[in-house]
Amino acid sequence: MKEPGATEAAAREVLLAVENVSLSFGGVKALTGVSFDIRKGEIRAIIGPNGAGKTSMLNVINGFYHPQQGRISFKGVTRNRMRPFEAAQGGIARTFQNVALFRGMSALDNIMAGRTLKMNRNFFWQLIRFGPAAAEEVAHRRRVEEIIDFLQIAHIRKVQVGRLPYGLQKRVELGRALAMDPDLLLLDEPMAGMNLEEKEDMSRYILDVNEHFGTTIALIEHDMGVVMDLSDRVVVLDHGTKIADGVPDAVKSDQAVISAYLGVAH
Amino acid sequence: MPTAPNARVDTFPKLLIRNAESLRSRPAIRHKDLGIWQTWTWDQVLEEVRAFSVGLSLLGLKRGDKIAIIGSNRPRLYWAMCAAQALGAVPVPIYSDSVADEMAYVLEHAEIAIAVVEDQEQVDKITSISERLSGLQQVLYDEIRGLRDYDHARLKSIDQVQALGREALAKDPQAEAQWNASVAQGKGSDLAIILYTSGTTGRPKGVMLTFDNVIVSAENGNLFDHLTADEEVIAYLPLAWVGDHVFSYAQSYTAGFCVSCPEAPETVIEDRREIGTTYAFAPPRIYENLLTLTMVRMEDASRFKRRMFNFFIEHSRKWGEKILNKEPVPLGARLIYGLGEILVYGPLKNRYGLSRIRVAYTAGEAIGPEIFRFYRSLGINLKQLYGQTEAAVYITAQPDGQIYADTVGTPNIDVDVKIADNGEVLFKSPGVFAGYYKDAEKTAETLTRDGYVRTGDAGFFDPKTGHLKIIDRSKDVGKLTDGTLFAPKYLENKLKFFPNIKEAVAFGDGRDVACAMLNIDLVAVGSWAERNNVVYGSYQELAAHPKVYEMVAEHVAEVNRSLAEEGVMAGAQIRRFLILPKELDADDGELTRTMKVRRGLIADRYGALATALYDGSHEAAISTVVTFEDGRKGALNARVAIRDMDLVPFKPPVLEAA
């Protein structure tokens, strides 16, 4: 299904590239000399066994961790380190492995929160919520409502997020990330802990986001079936190093990947 | 140009033109989209429908063609019906949750030329069966999500088609006149719509209804319930169901009221609350769910709230219905009821979105009398009606002020109902359908020689109230050896209305007395056991407990008492019953997937018990196979007690001259 997409992706421009990135925490090496790129409009999966450094990689990309070595170029700007607000303002949004929502707030307010960076009026204007600030809020609300419609969560719009089932919380989190109108969306295990039906729904939404908004997506996922179906290209990490990179079919039959997953002695 | 009063406007497109003139900027339809109610007025709807219709004619839709409509309740899908009818084409709404295979049959049988669908889900289904649909030329969709990359050779959005129509109307001054002429060409005796009935047995049948059928029925309904252009209605039931077609389309066009389409199926309750419906329809299941939800939420409420709730609900149970029926009620009770309205009933009705309700109907199945009374005692005018696709809904309905939990009312305006010798309900009305599409044989089977329609339901007129009572499907109705009418479902429903009884299977056809096998409801009886210090280890143990038998026997006695008062049914009181040691289960084939009991199969599987019910023994042994949820099978052995009941004396029924 995704084969033509993959060849297309190869021709597209590079949105983000990491070059020779190494990251360590004290003596523990999380990433060693990892390089790969994410091209515009593709769905890029990062996979690997537990502790392979996948989440560390995402944290490096959105500036939460600062690598000791290596460079990150995003939209043509090369930096040694990304700072979180640069990443956010530059158009990188993410979801988290464990749901990180404001549990006491409604789904609507959570997604609205995703628009904060896009709001021009300062804190005090927003506080009085009057005149230009109100007009701005209406405009943003429209975008948020489009996202709510897109993710089919109208029925929980005003429900406190903490009271929602897990699958819906994940969807709200995706909504909040989408509210930033990101160029690059990082999804950290979007399907962890979901049942089959929820996984199918989530896969549908990820594909739709990619198709409908043209958002580039990088995702970490453990469910191999999902990864192989969704992604255009896959990069495989093991013990902090890159062991394979390519289209799903090539990666699936790669000996190093099979060994890493089946635990052959290194 | 105001239309002369009483001038028969005999098709929906003509009604639309009339409404656009007389009601102009009054709301005609609403849809909640992006969290906001979007409203179209009658003149806007006319513009939308005209553009859509002209667009459809440019796609090649001709008089007599069939157009499928598949999706949830959305303005554009309703417009598609009228747009097609304006061209003399016939809309065929199809249940949107049917799987592709079922859909293929209807699409093929109805020779669909164009399908108007809601979204990608439906487009995918149609694509998957497209090679079987030779006549299908175009698929039009409302919602583009996910469809961007599809091959658009035979696929268009409704917007595109409307744009096509608008362009033609703007370019060619003759186009509008041509369209008006096409509308004028339609007449009341033309085919308006084909509705496929789901049919529990065999293939679905296409019920053909003419404009006269639908419009006269709808107008009679308006008259019966005094519906005006001021009603607020929410459309949430399947488009393919005759009820929705009449309530949300025909009655809106005839009475001129506004129909609101919910944002999503999940938001209906919330949306209904925002709209404040005045005229509503729901199957019993929906009222049951609302009530259960309320009770569960009340269990979690603070003690003060709970006590207040219980006090006022108890009070409304005593007086609420009397007040609604305008019977004399002591002043004190009235005052307390007024206080309850402020503290409990009002807020509850607001929760349900029924604060402004004038008329609420329930139909389709029997509703539990407790549930029925609960809503009525809150001051909600809940009524029952009995109808069929073949009748364009209305056969009987309860007039205001004559409401009984167990009847379906008196014949509607212009409807003639009679009972056949075998107990089957027959009717004749202006709504009587034009026949099943391409099935003259079935049509002939359904009509009697003198033009009555056989409903397939057995019923009788209650001598006390003069209302019709439906007892069962007529093919299931049998007779005891002494000739007493025996309607298993009627007994089973009466038994199942007790929360403690989950399922009931009644036997008696060709026997000398009626007997029943019962299932207890584990949740209800479990909580009863907790309160009454009944200790049990398993379902089987609880089901066999003498105290449980004692309690259930009281319920059965109650059923017998109520049967004794019902003339023809009085002889079929339950003589003996037993409680089954396992829950009847669809996995074991004892229930259908829609949770209907399979009497024959149960009589077979529990043969030893069925025999024991009738041979006078007080205990019987049974061993049967149980399927667990994970698919494993196990054996179940049990000894089951059988309880004798006393019959309540009754006056033998006076048989009416047949």
pLDDT for the residue numbered B116 = 97
Boundaries of every domain in chain B: 12-33+41-210+243-255, 478-644
Contacts of B263 in chain A (CB under 8 A): 154-155
pLDDT for the residue numbered B305 = 93
Packed helices B546-564 and B522-531: angle between N→C axes, nearest 10 degrees: 120
B345 DSSP assignment: I
Q: Tell me the average pLDDT across B20-31.
A: 95
| CA pair distance B278, B217, nearest whole angstrom | 20
Boundaries of every domain in chain A: 1-91+185-266, 96-181
Please report where in the chains the tokens 């009416």 appear, as a residue: B656
| CA pair distance B5, A37, nearest whole angstrom | 74
Q: Tell me the average pLDDT across A237-241.
A: 90
Q: pLDDT by residue (tens digit) across B35-66?
A: 899 999 999 999 999 999 999 999 999 999 99
| CA pair distance A189, A100, nearest whole angstrom | 13
| CA pair distance B143, B96, nearest whole angstrom | 14
For A1-91+185-266, CATH gives 3.40.50.300
Please report where in the chains the tokens 């392979």 appear, as a residue: A52
Q: Could you tell me which of B210, B209, B201, B206 has the C-alpha nearest to residue B106? A: B206
Q: Tell me the average pLDDT across B150-162.
A: 93
Q: Is the distance from CB of B576 to CB of B647 less than 8 angstroms?
A: no
* pTM of the predicted model as reported, rounded to 2 decimal places: 0.82
Residue contact A149–B33, C-beta within 8 A: yes
B253 versus B283: which is more confidently predicted?
Answer: B253
Q: Give me the residues of B, 171-230, that contact A with CB < 8 A.
A: none
Task: State how far residue B148 is from chain A, nearest Cα, in angstroms.
Answer: 8
- Please report, for residues A154, B70, B262, B500, the alpha-carbon distance to residue B37 in angstroms, rounded to integers and kept in the order given: 13, 23, 9, 43
If one counts every other C-beta atom within 10 angstroms of the C-beta of residue B292, the result is 11
pLDDT > 70? residue B188: yes
Strand partners, B115: B68, B139
Residue contact A145–B34, C-beta within 8 A: yes
pLDDT band at A10 (very low <50, low <70, confident <90, very high): low
Residue contact B270–A149, C-beta within 8 A: no
| Percentage of residues in chain B having pLDDT higher than 90 | 61
Please report where in the chains the tokens 């002209």 appear, as a residue: B54
pLDDT band at B199 (very low <50, low <70, confident <90, very high): low
| CA pair distance B393, B18, nearest whole angstrom | 24
| CA pair distance A97, B466, nearest whole angstrom | 66
| CA pair distance B68, B457, nearest whole angstrom | 30
Domain B478-644 in the same topology as domain B12-33+41-210+243-255: no
pLDDT for the residue numbered B653 = 56
Q: Tell me the average pLDDT across A99-108.
A: 91
| Tokens encoding B551 | 């309690």
Q: pLDDT by residue (tens digit) across B593-652?
A: 666 788 888 888 899 999 999 998 899 998 888 877 666 788 888 899 999 998 888 876
Contacts of A141 in chain B (CB under 8 A): 35
| CA pair distance B106, B196, nearest whole angstrom | 8
Give the DSSP H/E element, type plus range, for residue B635. strand B633-644
Nearest Cα residue in chain B from A214: B148
Task: State how far residue B266 is from chain A, nearest Cα, in angstroms.
Answer: 6
A58 versus A12: which is more confidently predicted?
Answer: A58
Q: Could you tell me which of B400, B305, B291, B296 has the C-alpha nearest to residue B352? A: B291
Mutate to test the interface with A, among B124, B145, B148 (most CBs of A within 10 A): B145
Q: Is the distance from CB of B391 to CB of B453 less than 8 angstroms?
A: yes
Establish if B145 touches chain A: CB-CB under 8 angstroms: yes
Residue contact A155–B266, C-beta within 8 A: yes
| CA pair distance B515, B518, nearest whole angstrom | 10
Task: Go through chain B and tell me how many residues it has.
Answer: 658
Task: State how far residue B204 is from chain A, nearest Cα, in angstroms.
Answer: 30
Q: Tell me the average pLDDT across B21-29.
A: 95
Residue contact B146–A146, C-beta within 8 A: no
Q: pLDDT by residue (tens digit) across A119-171?
A: 776 667 767 777 777 888 888 999 999 999 999 999 999 999 998 988 899 99
| CA pair distance B12, B41, nearest whole angstrom | 16
Q: Quick one: CA dihedral B294, B296, B300, B303, positive or negative?
A: positive
Give the DSSP H/E element, type plus range, for residue A207. helix A196-212
CATH 3.40.50.720 fits B12-33+41-210+243-255, yes or no: no
Strand partners, B185: none
| CA pair distance A51, A44, nearest whole angstrom | 19
Q: What is the mean pLDDT of chain A?
A: 86
| CA pair distance B233, B221, nearest whole angstrom | 15
Q: Is the distance from CB of B169 to CB of B50 less than 8 angstroms?
A: yes
Domain A96-181 in the same topology as domain A1-91+185-266: yes
Q: pLDDT by residue (tens digit) across B298-356?
A: 877 899 999 999 999 999 989 988 888 888 889 999 999 999 999 999 999 998 889 99
| CA pair distance B514, B454, nearest whole angstrom | 27
Nearest Cα residue in chain A from B34: A145
Contacts of A204 in chain B (CB under 8 A): 146
| Tokens encoding A236 | 């495989």
Q: Position A12: which residue type? A: R
| CA pair distance A139, A154, nearest whole angstrom | 18
Q: Could you tell me which of B591, B612, B609, B593 has the C-alpha nearest to residue B601? A: B591
- Please report, for residues A85, A117, B121, the alpha-carbon distance to residue B370 in angstroms, rounded to integers and kept in the order given: 60, 55, 40
pLDDT > 90? residue B429: yes
Q: Position B652: which residue type? A: P
Nearest Cα residue in chain A from B271: A155
Q: Could you tell me which of B2, B1, B23 has the C-alpha nearest to residue B253? A: B23
What ipTM goes with this model? 0.72
SS3 A59: helix
Task: State how far residue A117 is from chain B, nearest Cα, in angstroms.
Answer: 22
Q: Position B85: which residue type? A: Q
- Return the minimum-mean-pLDDT range out of A175-179, B161-165, B363-367, B421-425: B363-367
pLDDT for the residue numbered B3 = 43
* HSE (side-chain half, CA atoms, 13 Å) at A4: 1
Q: Quick one: CA dihedral B309, B314, B319, B323, positive or negative?
A: positive
Interface residue ranges in chain A relative to chain B, Cβ cutoff 8 Å: 141-142, 145-146, 148-150, 152, 154-155, 157, 204, 207-208, 211-212
pLDDT for the residue numbered B657 = 39
Please give the sequence-ordered ranges of beta strands (E in DSSP) within A40-95, or none if there are none: 43-47, 69-74, 77-79, 92-95
If one counts every other C-beta atom within 10 angstroms of the C-beta of residue A208, the result is 16
pLDDT for the residue numbered A8 = 54
Q: Position A112: which residue type? A: M
pLDDT for the residue numbered B652 = 64
| Tokens encoding A142 | 């429209």
B646 DSSP assignment: P
DSSP B40-55: EEHHHHHHHHHHHHHH
Q: pLDDT by residue (tens digit) across B112-128?
A: 999 999 999 999 999 99
Residue B322: φ, ψ to 5°: -65, -40
| Tokens encoding B322 | 């009397």
Q: Could you tell me which of B570, B579, B574 has the C-alpha nearest to residue B547? A: B579
pLDDT for the residue numbered A3 = 44
Q: Position B14: which residue type? A: K
Nearest Cα residue in chain B from A206: B146
- In CATH, the architecture of B478-644 is 2-Layer Sandwich (3.30)
Contacts of A157 in chain B (CB under 8 A): 35
For A96-181, CATH gives 3.40.50.300
